[in-house]
Structure 1
Amino acid sequence: MPISGNLAVTDDYQTVPARHTVAVLSAAKQFVVQQQPTPQCGPNEIMIRLEGCGVCASNLPVWEGRPWFEYPLPAGAPGHEGWGRVIAVGDQVETFSVDQRVACLGDRAFAETMCVPAEDAVCLPEELDDIPFPGEAIGCAMNIFKRADVRPDQTVAIIGAGFLGLLLVQLSIAAGARVIAISRRAEVRQLAEQLGAEISFDTEDWWGNAQKVIEYTQGRGCDRVMEVTGMQFALDMATEMIGEYGKLVIGGYHQDGLRQVNMQKWNWRAIDVINAHERDRHRYIQGIREGISATISGRISPQTLLTHRFSLEQLNDAYQMMCDRPDGFIKGWIEL
């Protein structure tokens, strides 16, 4: 299907290129950059000249390699945190126009251009023009926080203090909660306290530190525990810390095998266990909208957590850095 709709007329977006640059994960730990035909824009789609894409920790397994993955991945995959400017709109699209800046859903965003259904994009206001905005990741934080139902004066523990966890720290503090941050990295725990967390603990002795959290809460435990690591120990630690009638919110992506839980403690404490992953795309989009509002209002500052910028040719370096997590690293993103 040929491209349909209007083309951009600005200096930066004068035309839709016949070919574009795209990254292909050809094998484990082997992104290769290629020139391929530009994707075609359907009647209900918009074409985006991507400015950037976040690098998500949930995609580490497919980059590292597992027996069940098949390579090569589709061109541009698994990039799914893209944003950029509209350069063409389909004939049936009335909600967007050329040159609007948008954040979008779509898992082919390690590329110069990407086409997505118009309903899978959100306009970014002028207030955000100067900052990178991985909307999908920010929307995930907003949706997890909504499901957690944090109230003023509650005690909230957040296990995992990467990009997602630190956004949840900011949101919980803005909601008037007392926040406990838990991370294996000392500098990240310090950052969480600078953002307003009352106290932080490491994960090396997760059981012992869970008992310290119980002591800190005078035996009551936490009203909310948000787990965002996707690891077994975090579920175990959350189980130890949660108070009676609390909410244990699972935001981590548990993708590398079965998990065990202490159901007796879950039963005894009468807790709610919430799987805070979404499958409704409309909820993802609503989360992005709410993330935009939270950023403009200052409830969150995602731009300060995007610590390392890479080119498309440096994708392998970006993933390796996410594995190594050197000092100063929170989240990497690809500039396109």
Structure 2
Amino acid sequence: MRAAVVTGPGELKVEAVARPQPGPGEVRVKLEGCGVCASNLTPWAGPEWMQFPTEAGGLGHEGWGVVDAVGEGVDAVSVGDRVAALFYKSYGEYDVGPAENVVKLPEALGETPFPGEPLGCAMNIFARSGIKAGETVAIIGIGFLGAILTRLASQAGARVIAISRRPFSLQVARDMGAAETIPMEDHWQIIEQVRELTGGVFCDRVIEAVGKQWPLDLAAELTRERGTLVVAGYHQDGARQVNMQLWNWRGLDVINAHERDPAIYIRGIRDAVDAVASGRLDPSALYTHRFPLERLDEALNTTRDRPEGFMKALVTF
């Protein structure tokens, strides 16, 4: 099979490697594609802790495809089932992992791409956020995750204020149901605009979905007294500072909405399958860029640079 190997910072090659074999309790998936995750960007940049070369297919964890082999003791899925897979070497034509880490895709989804991990992540963040009808929710950062959360929050009956730096992203937020949008340009101007929009009260809940220091600072400023600040961004590039005086004074609840238990990830993917299959959620317009495996480096760089019109890159086989 063909699989990508990251050989150094910002460098990769596609190699012919042995097709993996499923062991007991495992399944092999012939992948149709894999989403490109923002969490790949730190190892792609080559920090000191990163080891090269990666395993074949390494970093890819948003795969979907068709089960083509099962190991001993597997009866929950069968050869021929189309699935979303939470495996971790999915930048290749095949990947293997535990049977409990795949979710069947119903016929209603046809041949629709389904990067399960980020969709499940959005569902889990939404559940952790506790958003209720009638609340005012600010979402800072309208990328793929922020756009999905905008849709889910607005469907729940919340008033969503979307804040992002790109005009394209703000239009996506409006399409997803945001009541108001604010360009992410000036820190104090954003605070004043939200103050005006909320009658000086600020927001019941604020979701920070960028993963940088400034948006985290801004999120706290926009959260009302006894409100909830939800950290959904990937903060992988080092330590953060927080304004604990402000957090104390306002009595904020702070939720780190990242999960680590694979079973919870899978639960989120199942929820996403139900939402997309039922028509409640349609992420198809957010898959804006597609690349063959040989251009995975371009897909990663595009995810990093986020040109106008970009939301989500998929690598398809």
What is the TM-score with the length of structure 1 in the denominator?
0.92
Structure 2 Cα separation of the partners of residues 317 and 151 of structure 1: 40
CA offset at residue 299 of structure 1?
2.6
Match of 1:225 in 2: 206
Indicate conservation of the 8 Å contact 1:24/1:72, yes or no.
yes
Structure 2 Cα separation of the partners of residues 194 and 42 of structure 1: 45
CA offset at residue 328 of structure 1?
1.5
SS of the aligned residue for 1:23 comes to strand
Structure 1 Cα separation of the partners of residues 187 and 130 of structure 2: 25
Structure 1 Cα separation of the partners of residues 223 and 279 of structure 2: 29
CA offset at residue 67 of structure 1?
2.2
- Of the three residues 61, 64, 77, the one matched with 1:96 is 77
- Of the three residues 219, 239, 252, the one matched with 1:238 is 219
Over the residues paired in the alignment, what is the CA RMSD in angstroms?
Answer: 1.0
Structure 2 unaligned regions, length at least 5: none
Indicate conservation of the 8 Å contact 1:133/1:303, yes or no.
no
Indicate conservation of the 8 Å contact 2:229/2:252, yes or no.
yes
Match of 1:276 in 2: 257
CA offset at residue 279 of structure 1?
1.1
CA offset at residue 205 of structure 1?
0.8
CA offset at residue 211 of structure 1?
2.3
Asked if residue 67 in structure 1 is aligned to residue 9 in structure 2, the reply is no
Asked if residue 24 in structure 1 is aligned to residue 5 in structure 2, the reply is yes
- Of the three residues 36, 42, 51, the one matched with 2:17 is 36
Structure 1 Cα separation of the partners of residues 45 and 140 of structure 2: 24
Indicate conservation of the 8 Å contact 1:77/1:110, yes or no.
yes
CA offset at residue 134 of structure 1?
0.3
Indicate conservation of the 8 Å contact 1:213/1:241, yes or no.
yes
Structure 2 Cα separation of the partners of residues 210 and 64 of structure 1: 33
Indicate conservation of the 8 Å contact 2:106/2:277, yes or no.
no
What is the TM-score with the length of structure 2 in the denominator?
0.98
Indicate conservation of the 8 Å contact 1:159/1:181, yes or no.
yes
Indicate conservation of the 8 Å contact 1:211/1:241, yes or no.
no
CA offset at residue 297 of structure 1?
2.6
- Of the three residues 202, 207, 229, the one matched with 2:188 is 207
Spell out the pairing of 1:23-172 with structure 2 (5 A cutoff).
23-172=4-153
1:76-114 deviation per Cα after TM superposition (whole angstroms, max 9, x unaligned): 110110000000111200101000000011110000001
Give the letter aligned to residue 118 of structure 1. Answer: A
Percent identity over paired residues: 51
Structure 2 Cα separation of the partners of residues 85 and 139 of structure 1: 19
Structure 1 unaligned regions, length at least 5: 1-19
CA offset at residue 202 of structure 1?
1.9
Structure 2 Cα separation of the partners of residues 210 and 77 of structure 1: 41
CA offset at residue 325 of structure 1?
1.7
Structure 1 Cα separation of the partners of residues 101 and 19 of structure 2: 19
SS of the aligned residue for 2:97 comes to strand
Structure 1 Cα separation of the partners of residues 38 and 219 of structure 2: 21
Match of 1:187 in 2: 168
Structure 2 Cα separation of the partners of residues 71 and 162 of structure 1: 29
CA offset at residue 296 of structure 1?
2.0
CA offset at residue 189 of structure 1?
0.4
Match of 2:243 in 1: 262
Q: Which runs of 4+ in 1 moved over 4 A?
A: none
Match of 1:253 in 2: 234
Match of 1:17 in 2: none
Asked if residue 304 in structure 1 is aligned to residue 285 in structure 2, the reply is yes
